[in-house]
Amino acid sequence: MNITFWGHSAFLFEHGEHRVVVDPFISGNPTAPLTLEDALALQPSAVLISHAHGDHWGDALAFAERGATIIATAEIGGYAQAHGASSAIGANIGGTVRQTWGSVTFTPAWHSSSFPDGTYGGMPTGLIIEMGGVRAYFAGDTSHFSDMRLIGDRGLDVAVLPIGDHFTMGPEEAARALADLRPRVAIPMHYGTFPPLTGDPQVFARLAGEAGVEARVLSPGERTTL
């Protein structure tokens, strides 16, 4: 699996001919390393959404217009369908959606969720993405919570965690979460985009290393392989 960081919490997951985008905040993202048109040209099969806030929902409908399937909670899936994405799939926490590229299982996340227009977005989620024999946990926006140990029991190759603080856990708490998640590799996200997001990825990397987890701090546009 190849994972490319598109800034903030936006990522591209790839294996072979398959591409999946997560939380596609590109338009209006000051850290985005590519234009929306460049991202759309990649023709991903699916767009996974952790929750409805504008910096995560982002350009989901633009991807749907180019043929990608939006996969998220029932409320987000229903909203997408009502706004023209007829193929959107709504699931919920504990459920798994299986596709030709792999699968996504929805986990809890401690946060909030509403669309930019104020519409309720259902419960926020984390995502367990299985693709090309790799199991990745994308935590979404969340604090550290004890049930992360159950997520870790699945056996994680990589955990992608928010570290920005203010709206999510900061680098110290994200590093403490690694004891529950037990991934081989950890990737920080959701930091530095806007002034309140002051979490330092180097602090996270140092603490992760002390916990025996390899931290990979990606610059926007950088790709890593697992």
Q: Give the position of tokens 């299986």.
A: 98
**Nearest CA among 214, 166, 213 for reference residue 190:** 166
- The total of other beta-carbon atoms located within 10 Å of residue 81's CB is 16
Q: Give the position of tokens 């992360």.
A: 148
167-210 tens-digit pLDDT: 999 999 999 999 999 999 999 999 999 999 999 999 999 999 99
**Which segments of the chain are extended strands (E)?**
2-5, 11-15, 18-22, 46-48, 69-73, 89-91, 96-99, 102-108, 125-131, 134-138, 158-162, 185-189, 214-215, 223-225
Domain count along the chain: 1
The rounded distance, in Å, linking the Cα atoms of 204 and 194 is 18
The whole domain housing 209 covers 2-225
DSSP state of 120: B
| pLDDT at position 27 | 98
89-91, strands of its sheet edge to edge: 89-91, 69-73, 46-48, 18-22, 11-15, 2-5, 223-225
22-60 tens-digit pLDDT: 999 999 999 999 999 999 999 999 999 999 999 999 999
Residue type, 214: E
Distance between start and end Cα atoms, the chain:
5
59-99 tens-digit pLDDT: 999 999 999 999 999 999 999 999 999 999 999 999 999 99
Task: Give the CATH number of the domain where residue 43 resides.
Answer: 3.60.15.10
140-177 tens-digit pLDDT: 999 999 999 999 999 999 999 999 999 999 999 999 99
At residue 121 the predicted structure's pLDDT band, cuts being 50, 70 and 90, is very high
At residue 142, what are phi and psi to the nearest 5 degrees? -160, 165
| pLDDT at position 218 | 98
E strand or H helix at 75? helix 74-82
| pLDDT at position 200 | 98
| pLDDT at position 157 | 98
